[in-house]
């Protein structure tokens, strides 16, 4: 497929088309949704889970404390620092990174099992983790979720104004670093609307339809038969 074909097949704004010209390896089995803190990637991933429960999403391991409403094995697997470090030592994580003093990582085995079967997988990670996945799985499609404007990101990061100025300035510094990594990604989606970003992500994941159909169709398919059909 040429870049021109991909640009033609995928709906989206000019940044999406520009991203495709960076040489995105479409079709991709492994899609990574990433972006700076506060951009809303967790919200997009959660909404996608509601809309398209048949899109398999990896559940990360973290050492951070469980928040109210979170369930073990659903949002995260919660681990102690020792348990996490043991997983790293045993090579059980595809990638891992530290965020605000907590460790986060992607269990390797479930992702590889999925890919071995020719079925797509979606990861939602910070930028450091996404770039590690690029090295570990060269064919992965790295999607950068960008804020509509820097001011909007600052507004989201400063939130309710309850955090100390040190915490806020650390967050802004991290966001600046992560925004600068955008050019290393295959595609940029601008988060002007959670629903639009979900549509575009589904289009990207379905871009491997043999008949070239992109489709934003989100019919639940718990058996995964839709993806099975996509196998050559």
Binding site for ligand 5GP (CB under 6 A): 37, 41-42, 60, 64, 95, 97, 99, 104-106, 124-126, 128-129
Q: State which residue, 28 or 61, has the beta carbon closest to ligand 5GP.
A: 61
- On whether the CB atoms of residues 3 and 21 are closer than 8 A, the answer is yes
CA distance 156 to 143: 20
Instruction: Look at residue 143 and give its three-state secondary structure.
Output: strand
Taking the complex as a whole, the smallest distance from the CB of residue 127 to ligand 5GP amounts, in Å, to 8
Which strands sit side by side in the sheet containing 76-78, from one edge to the other? 76-78, 60-62, 102-107, 93-99
Taking the complex as a whole, the smallest distance from the CB of residue 183 to ligand 5GP amounts, in Å, to 19
Taking the complex as a whole, the smallest distance from the CB of residue 155 to ligand 5GP amounts, in Å, to 17
Beta strands in 108-191 (DSSP E): 121-124, 141-146, 187-190
* Cα-based distances in Å from 194 to 49, 124, 207, 215: 12, 15, 20, 17
Taking the complex as a whole, the smallest distance from the CB of residue 91 to ligand 5GP amounts, in Å, to 15
Q: State which residue, 123 or 205, has the beta carbon closest to ligand 5GP.
A: 123
Taking the complex as a whole, the smallest distance from the CB of residue 218 to ligand 5GP amounts, in Å, to 22
CA distance 119 to 227: 6
Q: State which residue, 95 or 199, has the beta carbon closest to ligand 5GP.
A: 95
Q: State which residue, 42 or 212, has the beta carbon closest to ligand 5GP.
A: 42
Taking the complex as a whole, the smallest distance from the CB of residue 153 to ligand 5GP amounts, in Å, to 13
Q: State which residue, 9 or 114, has the beta carbon closest to ligand 5GP.
A: 114
Instruction: Look at residue 142 and give its three-state secondary structure.
Output: strand
Q: State which residue, 97 or 143, has the beta carbon closest to ligand 5GP.
A: 97
Would you put residue 159 in left (φ > 0), alpha (ψ -120 to 50) or beta? left
The residue number whose beta carbon is nearest to ligand 5GP equals 129
């Amino acid at each position: 497929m040429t870049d021109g074909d991909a640009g033609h097949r995928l709906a989206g704004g000019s940044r999406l088309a520009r991203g495709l010209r960076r040489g995105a390896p479409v079709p991709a089995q492994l899609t990574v949704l990433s972006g700076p803190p506060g951009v809303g990637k967790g919200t997009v991933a959660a909404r996608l889970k509601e809309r398209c429960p048949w899109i398999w999403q990896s559940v990360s391991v973290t050492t951070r404390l469980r928040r109210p409403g979170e369930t073990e094995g659903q949002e995260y697997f919660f681990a102690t620092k020792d348990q996490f470090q043991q997983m790293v030592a045993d090579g059980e994580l595809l990638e891992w990174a530290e965020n605000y003093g907590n460790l986060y990582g992607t269990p390797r085995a479930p992702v590889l099992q999925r890919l071995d079967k020719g079925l797509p997988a979606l990861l939602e990670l910070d930028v450091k983790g996404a770039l590690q996945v690029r090295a570990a799985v060269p064919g992965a499609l790295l999607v950068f979720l960008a804020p509509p404007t820097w001011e909007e990101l600052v507004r989201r990061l400063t939130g309710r104004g309850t955090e100390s100025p040190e915490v806020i300035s650390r967050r802004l510094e991290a966001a600046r670093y992560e925004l600068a990594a955008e050019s290393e990604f295959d595609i940029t989606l601008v988060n002007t609307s959670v629903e639009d970003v979900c549509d575009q992500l589904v289009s990207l994941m379905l871009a491997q339809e043999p008949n070239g159909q992109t489709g934003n169709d989100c019919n639940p398919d718990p058996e995964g038969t839709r993806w099975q059909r996509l196998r050559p």
